[in-house]
A and B are shown apart, each in its own frame.
Chain A
Amino acid sequence: MTRYVLQRVGQAVLVLWAAYTVTFVILYLLPGDPVALMLSANNIEVDSLTPQEREVAAARLGLDRPLWEQYLGMLGAALRGDFGTSFTKGIPVTELLAQRLPGTFLLSAVAIALALALGLAIALVAVWLPRGRMADLFRRAPAIGVSVPNFWIGLLLIQVFAFTLGWFPAMGSEGWQSLVLPAVTMAIPTAAVLAQVLTRSFDDTLGESYIATARAKGLDRWAVLIRHALRNAALPTLTILGLLVGATVTGSIVVETVFSRNGVGRLAQESVLSQDIPVVQAIVVLAAAAFVVVNLVVDLLYPLLDPRIARTPRVSRA
């Protein structure tokens, strides 16, 4: 087990380093340099600067050194937890992330919890209902949730619950009320995916012989679902949990923009567009770390849900 964990941690470090390096390379391959972009945003094109002025501008951003030196310098600092200073905001990246992360983290956590609850509820009802119109409705509704764009859901919710009913604010980051609409917006597509996957795996599980046995023992539909099918049907859901975390990262870009929330998603989008290299690097490493951790947790959870998985390696080693 120790070796297994060490191996996984080693892989995680490798993934982080690769993410960092690939981002660095990609950002430098993008057309236009950050100095020109920042000047453009201030209504000035870089060709109006004298060569000396251009050097001063580049030096301010630490872009005057050779590429490899910048890379090694940034990587070394990153290892010490220093991700440099944002080009566009002039704030240390760690400070910037400390400001922006909690909001996004809270939003994502609430959205994922909501999505899990909602997805599970839809799937349970869908398989519990006897075949018929209602069951069809519950089986088909998730397809709508998956295909409708996030921003549209957000704007629709704002129209109804903010402007018309006035229950929740349409924007901002203050108070739990401001969290409701964005979290629901983010949860809907995720819940839809979850409901689809769960419904399918319930269907598969319910065809298994042990379910027939359970039924034969005289258990009712609901008890069979909860006590016997759920645990097995949950496995595929766990597998896509990592993807769900990814979905909340991309979802947060849209949701934070629509709801004017100050989070990492919007920061990521702004920073990519303005080639704010230090910020993008830090966010990529962070997102990669989240993926790695979630997948590690999932891998470690598998054996608990399905003891066969934990036993397999032992058998093969012997």
Chain B
Amino acid sequence: MSTSHRYRTPALAALAAASVLVMAGCSGSTGGAASPAAPGEPVSGGELTVEFWPDNAAFSCVDPFQTYWIEHRQVIRNVADSLTDQDPQTGEIVPWLATDWEVSADGLTYRFDLRDDVTFSDGTAFTADSVVLALESAKATLAAVPGAYGGVYISGYASSTAVDDDTVEVRFSTPNASFLQGTSTTNLAILAASSYEATPEERCLGEVVGSGPFVLDDYTPAEGIDLSKRAGYAWASELNDHQGEAYLDAVHINYVAEDSVRVGNLASGASDIAWPRNPFTPEDRALLESSGATIESRSLPGPSQAYYPNVSNGHPLAEKAVRDALQIAIDRETYAATIYGPEYPVVEGAFDTTTPFFVSQADQLAYDPDRAGEILDAAGWVLEDGAEYRSRDGQTLTLVSPITAETPGDVLIQDQLKQVGIDLELTVYQPADRAAIIANGDYDLLATYYTRADPGVLAWILDERYAGSKAFAKNAQTAETAAEVQRLFDAGLQETDATVRGDIYAELQELLIADGVSFPIFERVQVAATAPEVSGFRFTSESFLSYYDIWKSAE
């Protein structure tokens, strides 16, 4: 008990500061090279060593279209360019390989004007045909490799044609308003023809030739990736701090499983950037800062880390009252402060703050254990004398939450829910069992997340028609709510007017919290530590790492 409340007061005090920090984090990162620690003019040369969380052991793949793993996608971001880029701060789509675009009134046709001075690193030219080939290959890959991750980005894609050398037209059979944002993502990066001659498996293992500022020299699964500078690169998007070639001669990426080794290597000067999957612990942070490292952070756009309920018949969360109580029985401020430290931002809604069209639902998520207790009392879930947990008709109010490994966060929430008489039962499962647990509905709360700078991506979790798991989407909401959610997703996907889209997604976010479809737990903040001699760090809109502006001061 004392642990969960120890940080309450400082957390409250830091609340305002924290939300400011998030904003500062975004603007700081778009500011690019203005890292105050390292003054002076950028210098060319030098090699960068980056240490990542391990790559995907179950699917070693650096093909942008097929891969989901963040540690792969962000390397590709530096190797292959996309048609457009997205401003991390405003969410605005800006030119990159495409200089201009036009969307037809019915939302079915996209016409892109392309740059005519771009070449791939194998020397071939980038033309309208390159775009057609990329999209057609994406379609073919999806047929050959069912479930290929990029499928979500080209939902509804019909065909494309090269109008002339530098104009391409992309047609959809059903509107896909997220497509424009999709063209800015790594997953729809355009590769050279030679890459598409390779099989999907060969592409996974590194047959990836792009037009980016770096060239992929070698990918060794589980070990690392080597990149070298692309000579003559001259088509960076305007979001970067400079134009022309990258500053670094080479980048070496290592996959390091142990957090302590990654942190220790950076602190002792053996590497330049440490990039963990989860935010640094307060202790690691202190160690890094004492060694002169700079900590960079930006929330990963897309759905926040959240529990999604199982509301099917017979499960306690089928009852609206229980969902209402649960929503306010989670103390998110304490969670952020206790698990990740006092400056950590508190989650404010179904999406992370960096998601375009984000609307804060902080009021509805405010911790109110007394009110939660009243709601449950009224619903007949009462705390018998001397009982630890609430019950009704002899049934204990138990919520089963399967996890792969127990974390302090799980235990903290378990403790918080116990305060209002809800029994959160943490059951540990093997990754192999997840599909079966979902299909059989053997859970009440199951956590998941997603990364993409577009709110429509939540359809991939909650819309049965597109979802990565149909059962998961179906279980998470009542039939009426599902219909409403789908209507809003459709409206959002078909609406190309940004203001109207904003209203639609605001309504969606309100609904998800009010109806208890999403129970946000924490803001997914991507952190990284950089060594003192590293300047020009920049987060992309996907909260990936751009090596392009980075330079190392000689020491």
Contacts and interface: CB of A to CB of B under 8 A. Distances in A.
A and B associate in one complex:
yes
Interface of A: 30-32, 36-49, 53-54, 56-57, 60, 88-91, 99, 155, 158-159, 162-164, 166, 169-173, 257-260, 262, 266-267, 270, 273-275
Contacts of A260: 223, 254-258, 261
B429 to A, nearest CB: 10
Contacts of A159: 264
Nearest to A260: B256
Interface in B59-74: 59-60, 66-69
Given A90-B201, A159-B264, A171-B265, A31 B149 contact: no
Contact of B58 (A47, A88, A267): A88
A45 B261 contact: no
B430 A155 contact: no
B60 A173 contact: no
B60 A88 contact: yes
Contact of A56 (B56, B146, B222): B146
A266 B222 contact: yes
Interface of A is mostly: helix
B264 A45 contact: no
B205 A43 contact: no
20 contacts: A41-B58, A42-B66, A42-B147, A45-B439, A46-B147, A46-B435, A47-B438, A49-B146, A57-B147, A60-B145, A88-B60, A89-B60, A166-B268, A170-B261, A170-B264, A171-B256, A171-B261, A258-B257, A260-B261, A274-B57
A244 to B, nearest CB: 25
Contacts of B264: 158-159, 162-163, 170
Given A42-B147, A48-B469, A273 B261 contact: no
Contact of A48 (B256, B268, B468): B468
Given A39-B147, A57-B146, A166-B268, A45 B58 contact: no
B149 A43 contact: yes
Interface of B: 56-60, 66-69, 143-149, 201-202, 204-205, 220-223, 254-258, 260-261, 264-265, 267-268, 270, 430-436, 438-439, 450, 467-472
Contact of A44 (B201, B254, B268, B468): B468
Contacts of B255: 260
Nearest to B67: A42
A31 B436 CA distance: 9
A8 B56 CA distance: 42
A42 B149 contact: yes
B205 A48 contact: no
A274 B56 CA distance: 10
Given A43-B468, A45-B471, A262-B220, A56 B144 contact: yes
Nearest to B466: A48
A38 B146 contact: no
Given A42-B68, A262-B223, A31 B258 contact: no
